[in-house]
Amino acid sequence: MTRLRRHRRLTASESAREVRVQDLFENAEASRCFDLAGDLWLEVGTGKDSHILERSLRHPETLHLGIEQTRKKFEMMLRKAEMLNCSNNLKLLHADAIPAVSECFPDESLAGVFLLFPDPWPKERHAHRRLLQSSFLSLIARKLRPDALLEIRTDEPEYARQAHEALLEIKALQNLTGGKPWLDSPIDPENHVETLFEQRFRNEGKAIHYFYLKKTN
């Protein structure tokens, strides 16, 4: 008999931190789900990494939303947010980002997006799920408002090449890496928050590709 995994019962404060797709639908402006004013930054594919939590603590004046499709990791993120005492400028969404980003955010509404090692899809038959490809990057570009930032990190050379080729076609995104397709190290080391996968790949001696882009008007 197959045993279905039941969702863990969330505590009251974890529930208050959860944003549902429905909440985003009902509130034309995602920032209304926070009951706070501020620019909205999105991280897609948080895994169980603390980058977006850390960023929310460093930038209390802005709003942060992390999206993760795996329920267990999403629940771990909620727990971590409580442990780090994150404020209500940090919310988490359990969803597949492909439809969620398309349907839940108005065009030109985001101040920034992080795609940090988002693609656990090495098999060719899963290639359509990859986020670092033209369709998803174009969607993100549409959701960014003028002057908003997009940061991408990946260890995989093939994903980096694919992302670079896709980004060249998106005229609304301007590369901030001085003519290089990507950088080999963070653009602003002092403010850089390393992720779990980044640490793991660095320890394995892998090269990391850092992309920094800005939405033009």
Ligand X SMILES: C[S@@+](CC[C@H](N)C(=O)[O-])C[C@H]1O[C@@H](n2cnc3c(N)ncnc32)[C@H](O)[C@@H]1O
Sheet strands side by side (includes 209-215) = 18-19, 90-94, 63-68, 40-44, 110-116, 144-154, 209-215, 173-175
- Asked if 133 is part of the footprint of ligand X (rule: CB under 6 A), the reply reads no
Catalytic residue, from 35, 96, 119, 188: name it. 119
- Asked if 46 is part of the footprint of ligand X (rule: CB under 6 A), the reply reads yes
- Asked if 96 is part of the footprint of ligand X (rule: CB under 6 A), the reply reads yes
- Asked if 92 is part of the footprint of ligand X (rule: CB under 6 A), the reply reads no
- Asked if 98 is part of the footprint of ligand X (rule: CB under 6 A), the reply reads yes
Which residue, among 155, 164, 196, 175, has the nearest Cα to 43 in the 3D structure?
196
Position among 30, 97, 111, 152 found at the interface with ligand X (CB under 6 A): 97
Which residue, among 184, 175, 171, has the nearest Cα to 210 in the 3D structure?
184
Amino acid at residue number 44: V
- Asked if 197 is part of the footprint of ligand X (rule: CB under 6 A), the reply reads yes
Residue in this structure with the two tokens 């990494």, named with its chain if needed: 49
Position among 41, 105, 117, 159 found at the interface with ligand X (CB under 6 A): 117
Position among 92, 116, 163, 167 found at the interface with ligand X (CB under 6 A): 116
Position among 33, 67, 86, 104 found at the interface with ligand X (CB under 6 A): 67
Residue in this structure with the two tokens 């790949």, named with its chain if needed: 201
Is 119 considered catalytic here? yes
Number of residues that bind ligand X (CB under 6 A): 22
- Asked if 45 is part of the footprint of ligand X (rule: CB under 6 A), the reply reads yes
Beta bridge partners, 212, equal: 151
Contact 135, 171 (CB under 8 A): no
Contact 147, 191 (CB under 8 A): no
* Nearer of residues 66 and 178 to ligand X, judged by Cβ: 66
Choices 21-29, 66-74, 143-151, 178-186 (CB under 6 A): range interacting with ligand X: 66-74
Which residue, among 119, 9, 21, has the nearest Cα to 75 in the 3D structure?
9
Question: Under the rule (CB under 6 A), what is the footprint of ligand X?
Answer: 44-47, 49, 67-70, 73, 96-98, 116-118, 120, 131, 195-198
For the annotated catalytic residues, the residue numbers are: 119
